[in-house]
Chains A and B, each alone.
Chain A
Amino acid sequence: MASLKIIWNIFVKDLRVEWRNRETLASMCVFGLLIVFLFNFAFEGAREETLRLLPAVLWVAIAFAGVLGFNRSFASERENACLEGMTLAPVDPSLIFVGKMLANMLFLGVAEVVMAFAAALWYNFSFLPALGQLVLIAFFGTLGYAALGTIFGAIAANTRMREVMLTVLQFPIAFWILMLSIDSTAEALRGNPGGDWFGGVARVAGISLVFTIASFLLFEYVLEE
């Protein structure tokens, strides 16, 4: 119970900081929308073409918007060495990880909803027929991606070229989550031609949980120095 309270306090602190400066969410949404909008010009055409490319467009937008958000999330921790300040307290580092990851997940989730609405409008496309499956894929994909963003954000925060470093460090590993998320989203949008509703969700959930647990266990070593 005490651990949950600490996670909650860290999560609320991140939300409060974001509410005050409104930098992270705004930049994530604008950047994500821009990507979705630009791709709209690239393949204005048949529904089949849209179905093929839309999942990739959305997840690329999510990936880049996420990087922007993760960098911002640690900018407030870097200023005045607040992350170090947290480690002065007798708190398990993994609780700091979970609190920050949940905040990153929420910001990315909100940005995803905005991007999905925009995509539905611009591409004249409805996500409703596969909404339940898509929400699950987005949830687990976002969980894994936010977990990696949180641990690599903490690593990159202490480097000189931090904005570049986060992308360079995170993308090669996040590739697996993104690839499976794109694949599963495409299948869901096509109406699951193989009839396997659960398979796509399970694949994304599996890989995301592996990366989330690994990040949870390794965060302590990242904070050490």
Chain B
Amino acid sequence: MLETRNLTKFFGDLAALKEVSLSITRGESVFLYGPNGAGKTTLLRMLASLARPSSGQVLFDGGDMGGDGALAKASIGFVSHTTFLYSELTVRENLKFFGSLFRLSDLEKKIDAALELFDMRERSGVFVRDLSRGLQQRTSLARAFLHDPDFVLLDEPFTGLDSQSVKNLQRLLLRLPEQGKALLFSTHDFEQGAALAQRLVALKAGRVRYNGPLATAPFEDLGIVRASGPKADG
């Protein structure tokens, strides 16, 4: 279980997160929603151990992630606004490098599988600097899934993807809970997110406004206007 207890994060005088307590267990799919500046990215970064809390705790399977967090890091895959990819390396070289940091066995096989998963096999020898934003995003997703993480944290994962890639990713994300994996993701497209999750965590101004089943969420109170948008292909 990945859990936060009274998590608060200040950037100077600005409180990006205020007393956020929530948990996500394996087999769950949670949609993190909120307007710009709500604290979604900060929360995801702290869960991925990229930022330290000003106060409060992030716990992984009951243990504080404040230490080296090696076990937690090995179980978390994170996709952010930035790709974490070296422009001067090819797609395969990037995956090989990051895979080696996770000490993965059968790395080449896992790289091939990740490339296949995101339809990047034919472009494995292309330098990242020569890829479009969408293809870089797919490579970044392949990097995050390479070590088969139990907890998948995705910050706006659909950014830059074409419609076919969006569908492929939706299909993949829908399967994660069945595989016993936890998914926590944010997207500004509410309907796109709602099609993938069972639970909604709504953030506003750094505070949790709602944390519960998506189907029974008080949409009006949360200022969410539902529209008939695209649904994920199951």
Q: Is the CB of B70 within 8 A of A90?
A: yes
Q: Is the CB of A89 within 8 A of B73?
A: yes
Residues of B within 8 A of A196 (CB): none
- Number of residues on chain B facing chain A (CB within 8 A): 32
Residues of A within 8 A of B78 (CB): 88
Instruction: Specify the main secondary structure of chain B where it touches its partner.
Output: loop
A76: min CB distance to chain B, Å: 6
In the complex, A48 has a CB within 8 A of chain B: no
In the complex, A128 has a CB within 8 A of chain B: no
Partner of A5 from B85, B98, B100, B128 at Cβ < 8 Å:
B100
Residues of B within 8 A of A81 (CB): 80, 82-84
Residues of B within 8 A of A86 (CB): 98, 101
In the complex, B219 has a CB within 8 A of chain A: no
In Å, the complex CA distance between A89 and B103 comes to: 9
Among the 9-residue stretches A14-22, A109-117, A134-142, A159-167, the one with 4 or more Cβ atoms under 8 Å from chain B is A14-22
Partner of A17 from B74, B76, B83, B89 at Cβ < 8 Å:
B89
Known contacts A2-B103, A224-B52; A17/B85 CB under 8 A: no
Known contacts A6-B100, A90-B71; A16/B84 CB under 8 A: no
Query: 8 Å CB contacts to B: which residues of A79-102?
Result: 79-82, 84-92
Q: Is the CB of B68 within 8 A of A13?
A: no
Residues of B within 8 A of A9 (CB): 97, 100-101
In the complex, B48 has a CB within 8 A of chain A: yes
Q: Is the CB of B85 within 8 A of A80?
A: yes
Partner of A82 from B74, B85, B127 at Cβ < 8 Å:
B85
Q: Is the CB of A20 within 8 A of B88?
A: yes
Interface hub of A16, A89, A90, A224 (most chain B Cβ within 10 A): A90
Partner of A16 from B48, B68, B88 at Cβ < 8 Å:
B88
In the complex, B224 has a CB within 8 A of chain A: no
Q: Is the CB of A82 within 8 A of B86?
A: yes
B142: min CB distance to chain A, Å: 13
Partner of B51 from A2, A20, A85, A225 at Cβ < 8 Å:
A225
Known contacts A90-B70, A224-B52; A80/B86 CB under 8 A: yes
Q: Is the CB of B87 within 8 A of A80?
A: yes
In the complex, B28 has a CB within 8 A of chain A: no
In Å, the complex CA distance between A91 and B68 comes to: 9
Query: 8 Å CB contacts to A: which residues of B69-117?
Result: 69-71, 73-74, 76, 78, 80, 82-89, 93, 97-98, 100-103
The 6 closest A-B pairs by CB, nearest first: A85-B84, A89-B101, A90-B70, A81-B82, A20-B88, A90-B73
8 CB contacts below 8 A, A to B, read: A5-B100, A21-B88, A76-B88, A81-B83, A82-B85, A87-B49, A90-B68, A90-B102
